[in-house]
Amino acid sequence: MTKRFTPALVKGLIAAACMAITVLPNTVQAADTYTQTKYPIVLVHGLFGFDAIGPIDYWYGIVSPLQAGGAKVIVSQVSAANSTEVRGEQLLSEIKRYQASYGYQKFNLIGHSHGGPTVRYVAAVAPSLIASITSVGGPHTGSPVADDIKAGTTATGTTAWVAAVFDAFAAVISLLSGNPGLPQDSEAAMNSLTTAGSAAFNTKYPAGMPTSSCGSGPELVNGVRYYSVGGNWVLTNPLDISDALLALTSVSFKGGASDGLVGQCSSHWGTVLKDNYSWNHLDEINQAFGLRGLFSQDPVAFYRGQANRLKTAGL
């Protein structure tokens, strides 16, 4: 039977259309502001990291979803290999340039791996510029991998030779990422990441330090909020060739929980959001190329959720 468009039916359709027009923009607006933090988000890479090399992003598939939700995102590039302090000074200079150019008053720093101590350095020396730091898989108490490398090269007298090889590798990374002038010092990076080097750094810059060996630290110090997160799996996807390398480096942990390069407890700093994601060290940045455990948590969802946490906190 053909439905007749009576005046009452037409009136009802018009009312429904008006309601849809009213509701839809609010729905879109809510979706578009999920990650819209007050201050820009700055992503800081780890050892032998980069911003992008050609089509390959260090933060694989992470930047666009953050931007889609309203966040202003800056992908930093510091030395691929150098001490925490040198990398921190480079990052500080970069942040000051963005402040001068765009008028940003503060920044939310997110650092992966060696990027964790790097962002802590900036928060320590220039807290007025920093709203928050989030450390992802950061080796805050050092890594036994760095300890073993230092012990091995020292015992064999190959420290200078090994450092030269890795300096050249780091220089190639910086060249390919469009930043050939950055200084590289792999030996300084190694010393920063050892247990002893990290302990010395933590003594100088203790803000956010856990109050116990595997606990949390204060969330708010000198006006800066401190968060940390980490994974505790190594072999997560048989198709990811990087897992094999992490399986090799995980031997240094002698069976202890780690993501292959950083111990579970070493990732703790400030408020520990979660330290047992089913991620290895590269899964934490959605690498390699999005391959991870079949039932593991989505790293992209974590970064979006963290941005929303910062937004809710007024940051």
Rounded (10°) CA dihedral 161, 166, 169, 174: -130
Q: Among residues 198, 267, 281, 283, which one is catalytic?
A: 281
- The bridge status of strand 73-75 relative to strand 41-44 is parallel
- What is the torsional sign of CA 239, 245, 248, 251? negative
Label residue 228 left, alpha or beta by phi (over 0 means left) and psi (-120 to 50 means alpha).
beta
178: burial class by Cβ within 10 Å (0-12, 13-18, 19+)?
Answer: exposed
Q: What angle do CA 188, 190, 195 make, to 5 degrees?
A: 120
DSSP state letter for 29: H
Residue 113 a catalytic site member? yes
Q: Which of 259, 266, 267, 268 is catalytic?
A: 259
Going from the C-alpha of 98 to that of each of 84, 194, 302, 307, 310, the distances in angstroms are 21, 32, 26, 20, 20
* 259 counts as catalytic: yes
Nearest to 283 by CA among 238, 245, 240: 240
Q: Please, how many CA atoms are within 13 Å of residue 240, restricted to the half-sphere of its CB?
A: 23
Active site residue 281: yes
Catalytic residue among 76, 79, 83, 113: 113
Residue 120 CA: distances (Å) to CA of 28, 112, 124, 138, 266: 36, 12, 6, 10, 14
**Residue length of the chain:** 315
What six digits make up the tokens of 76?
């930093």
Q: What is the DSSP letter of 3?
A: P
| All residues at 6 or more sequence positions from 31 whose CB lies less than 8 Å from its CB, including other chains | 69
Question: Which pair of structure tokens corresponds to residue 78?
Answer: 């510091």
Catalytic residue set:
113, 259, 281
